[in-house]
A and B are shown apart, each in its own frame.
Chain A
């Protein structure tokens, strides 16, 4: 197999590049994974580790996420200690006005084949005894899982290396090399070239920087998110809980919430960790490439958590940090061949779902390279699906980069 396989270079050793390298190396394809920093040093180590369908739009997005969950579940045993577990997840409602939308959401998801449940108040408080008494109900998704994202990246890379993949950390790619209009490899900043038959750009929020010089525009824009980490101490249940309003924040829909919650796109995410503390999210802002934590956002996240978990007032914040979600206008990643440059593939733009969607992305890219039939139609993910108006608008947001 190796003899006739194309040589592949993957640019970007985040969770997406790592999953692609894992799938390719398993199939015996010669692959080199390149990153300008350490492995997993980008967004994939400044994030949470949720692998969710609960927050996906019913339909294609949900199917993509569910397939990825099943792939990950199958890989987990092989990957070793990545803190993988599958406790399911809950969406708590903030008020009676969310009851009807939540019931509709559950009905739509069930029609799409996912086993969602609507829990009335009594069942909700049985499952989450620490929730504020006025939470009127919740949504439950049983297949949702969680893991340690950096351990996931590290394990994918370690397995790939065992199977012969090469890794080149601390090797910035200056440009994608072309020959006769085809991708021919990558040129490193030290002047050397890595030759390849196929180049995969999996550079997260930095993907446009590598594609622009080739005249290829993809509307991927950094959407900053903050997380709050607590000290070890009291915990507020072992299940992961988000608020239903998270969906509204994620898809940019209208919510009735306090002003700072709205301004920073704050929505409750409660994630108990194995280490004995918990993580709180989340926020969503277009704020360029700056990842310096903003104390106002951290406070808004804590206040939002107190609305759902009043007893958390006793807990203490250890630190906060921010990462950059690779946002796209239609909340779907860009995964596919670049029509204008044969041999060039893009796999980026997973916004707040890259950890969860890494497995399916690896599978899809592997299928494209090996010319196998992918398990899902890939048109919704196509590089050239965005119209000129969308590209122009995304270009305007991009100007906020610092």
Chain B
């Protein structure tokens, strides 16, 4: 803890992910409370990197932190399709496909 603890809960605690309002202190808290040992799990638990930027902005910082803790961040933030948010109305009209009982 020591050095880490100085960061949490203060204005000096840097924001890692703006859209989910996750600070370094939140990451450390979750990491220690749950004995997390991978970036993917930490991301899923704190939501850091899961907001609208999908890790494009915050990803490098998250990965640097993970490396600092001795974790291999490879693939943890791999973005899943769709790459950018899309309005649900786009799903309308494509392949309504008829009714299964009519096939």
Residues of chain A whose beta carbon lies under 8 Å from any beta carbon of chain B: 37-41, 45, 80, 148, 150-151, 154-155, 157-158, 161, 167, 169-170, 230-232, 255-263, 275, 293, 295-296, 298-299, 302-303, 305-306, 312-321
Contact = CB atoms under 8 A, between A and B. Distances in A.
Interface residues of B, number: 36
A299 B94 contact: yes
A230 B50 CA distance: 11
A169 B34 CA distance: 13
Interface in B46-103: 47, 51-52, 54, 79-82, 85-89, 91-92, 94-101, 103
B87 A262 contact: no
A295 B87 CA distance: 14
Given A45-B41, A275-B47, A303-B92, A317 B86 contact: yes
Contacts of B89: 306, 313-314
B4 interface: no
B44 interface: yes
Contacts, number: 121
22 contacts: A37-B38, A39-B36, A39-B41, A45-B41, A45-B44, A80-B33, A154-B35, A169-B37, A170-B37, A232-B19, A258-B96, A295-B82, A302-B88, A302-B91, A303-B92, A303-B96, A306-B89, A306-B92, A313-B88, A314-B87, A316-B88, A317-B85
Nearest to A228: B88
B88 A318 contact: no
B5 interface: no
Contacts of A260: 95, 97
B85 A316 contact: yes
Contacts of B18: none
A275 B41 contact: no
B97 to A, nearest CB: 4
Contacts of A255: 100
B92 A320 contact: no
B100 A259 contact: yes
Contact of A40 (B41, B85, B99, B103): B41
Contacts of B101: 256
A313 B41 contact: no
B86 A161 contact: no
Nearest to A296: B95
B97 A231 contact: no
A120 to B, nearest CB: 27
B67 to A, nearest CB: 16
B44 A231 contact: no
A80 B30 CA distance: 12
A319 B44 contact: no
B45 A151 contact: yes
Contact of B100 (A167, A261, A275, A305): A261
Contacts of A256: 99-101
A232 B86 CA distance: 13
Given A261-B100, A319-B80, A38 B41 contact: yes
B34 A154 contact: yes
A303 B94 CA distance: 9
B80 A293 contact: yes
Considering the complex of A and B, which 8 residue pairs feature the smallest CB-CB distances, nearest first?
A259-B97, A262-B100, A38-B38, A154-B34, A313-B89, A302-B91, A316-B85, A260-B97
Q: Which of B34, B87, B96, B99 has the most CB of A within 10 A?
A: B34
Q: Which of A148, A157, A315, A317 has the most CB of B within 10 A?
A: A317
Given A38-B38, A41-B40, A275-B47, A258 B99 contact: yes
